[in-house]
C-alpha cells in the first residue's frame, strides 16, 4: 500500500508544532511584559460612592498626601484612609452636607466605604511603596498630578515594560526624598531633572533590580 504522507510530512508537523508552542510562549510573555489591560488602564477614572476631589483637597487646600496615605513611607501599601480620617475634618466642615451622607453613615456603623480601586498591580507582582518613596521617587511619577484631578484617574501604564524602563534609568524619576510627596516640586533653577536624579542615585546608592526576582517573589 502506498504511503499517504510524504517522508517530509513528519518534519513539517514537528515544525508546525514547535512554531505553535513558541508563538504561545511569546504571546504570553508579551502579555505579561506589557501588562494585562485591567492593570494598565490609562485614563480609567471610576465614579466613587462619595465624590472626592484631589484637586480640592491636595491642590486648593494643600493637604499633604501623608495625611490620608499615612503609611506610604513605612509600608509596602499606601493605604486607603479609614472613614475616621475623613471625619476628622468633616465632623466640623460641611458636617451636614448631603454629599457626605455615605461617609457619615459609614462612621456610625463602622462599615467601610466601598471605594472603587483605581490603581492595582497584579497578584504576581511585588511592589513596595516605602522603598520607592524613601529613595525619592515622587508620587507624581506613578500617579500623575493628582492635585489637578477632580476625579482620580489611572495616569501611567504601570506595565512591566514601563517599570523596567524606570529601573534602567531611575535618574528621570528621582528627587530629594523629602520632596517625594510634593506634587509641585521641580528641579532647582540651573539644574535639570537628570542632574538631580544622577546625584541622588549616587548619593543613596540607588540600584533598582532588573531581574525577575526583584519584583516576582
Region class of 112: left (phi > 0), else alpha (psi between -120 and 50), else beta: beta
How many whole angstroms separate alpha carbon 154 and alpha carbon 146?
A: 10
Contacts of 38 (CB under 8 A, 6+ apart): 120
Could you tell me the residue range of the domain that residue 180 belongs to?
A: 37-45+119-215
pLDDT per position as a tens digit, 6-25: 566 566 556 566 666 555 54
In a domain, 105, yes or no: no
SS3 state at 64: coil
Q: Which of 38, 26, 46, 27 is nearest to 157 (CA)?
A: 38
pLDDT value at 61 more than 80:
yes
pLDDT per position as a tens digit, 93-152: 999 999 999 999 999 999 999 999 999 888 899 999 999 999 999 999 999 999 999 999
Q: What is residue 107's predicted lDDT score, i.e. its pLDDT?
A: 95
Q: What is residue 40's predicted lDDT score, i.e. its pLDDT?
A: 73
Q: How far is CA 19 from CA 10, 22, 28, 29, in A?
A: 14, 5, 14, 15
SS3 state at 137: strand
DSSP class of 69: S
Distance, C-alpha 197 to centroid of its chain: 20
pLDDT value at 31 more than 90:
no
217: confidence class by pLDDT, cuts 50, 70, 90: confident
In a domain, 84, yes or no: no
In a domain, 142, yes or no: yes
Q: How many domains does the chain have?
A: 1
In a domain, 1, yes or no: no
In a domain, 69, yes or no: no
In a domain, 171, yes or no: yes
Which residue, chain included where needed, has cell 504576581?
124
**Residue 101: all three cell numbers together:** 451622607
213: confidence class by pLDDT, cuts 50, 70, 90: very high
Amino acid at each position: 500500500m502506498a504511503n499517504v504522507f510524504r517522508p517530509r510530512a513528519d518534519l513539517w508537523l514537528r515544525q508546525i508544532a514547535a512554531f505553535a508552542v513558541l508563538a504561545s510562549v511569546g504571546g504570553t510573555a508579551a502579555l505579561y511584559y506589557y501588562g494585562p489591560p485591567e492593570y494598565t488602564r490609562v485614563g480609567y477614572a471610576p465614579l466613587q460612592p462619595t465624590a472626592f476631589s484631589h484637586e480640592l483637597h491636595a491642590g486648593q487646600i494643600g493637604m499633604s498626601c501623608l495625611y490620608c496615605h499615612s503609611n506610604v513611607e513605612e509600608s509596602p501599601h499606601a493605604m486607603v484612609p479609614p472613614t475616621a480620617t475623613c471625619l476628622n475634618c468633616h465632623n466640623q466642615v460641611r458636617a451636614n452636607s448631603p454629599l457626605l451622607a455615605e461617609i457619615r453613615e459609614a462612621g456610625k456603623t463602622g462599615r467601610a466605604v466601598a471605594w472603587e480601586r483605581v490603581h492595582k498591580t497584579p497578584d504576581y507582582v511585588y511592589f513596595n511603596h516605602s522603598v520607592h518613596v524613601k529613595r525619592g521617587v515622587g508620587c507624581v511619577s506613578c500617579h500623575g498630578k493628582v492635585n489637578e484631578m477632580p476625579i482620580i484617574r489611572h495616569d501611567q501604564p504601570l506595565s512591566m515594560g514601563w517599570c523596567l524602563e524606570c529601573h534602567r534609568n531611575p535618574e528621570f524619576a528621582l528627587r530629594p526624598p523629602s520632596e517625594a510627596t510634593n506634587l509641585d516640586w521641580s528641579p532647582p533653577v540651573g539644574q535639570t531633572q537628570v542632574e538631580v536624579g544622577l546625584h541622588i542615585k549616587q548619593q543613596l546608592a540607588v540600584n533598582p533590580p532588573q531581574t525577575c526576582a526583584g519584583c516576582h517573589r
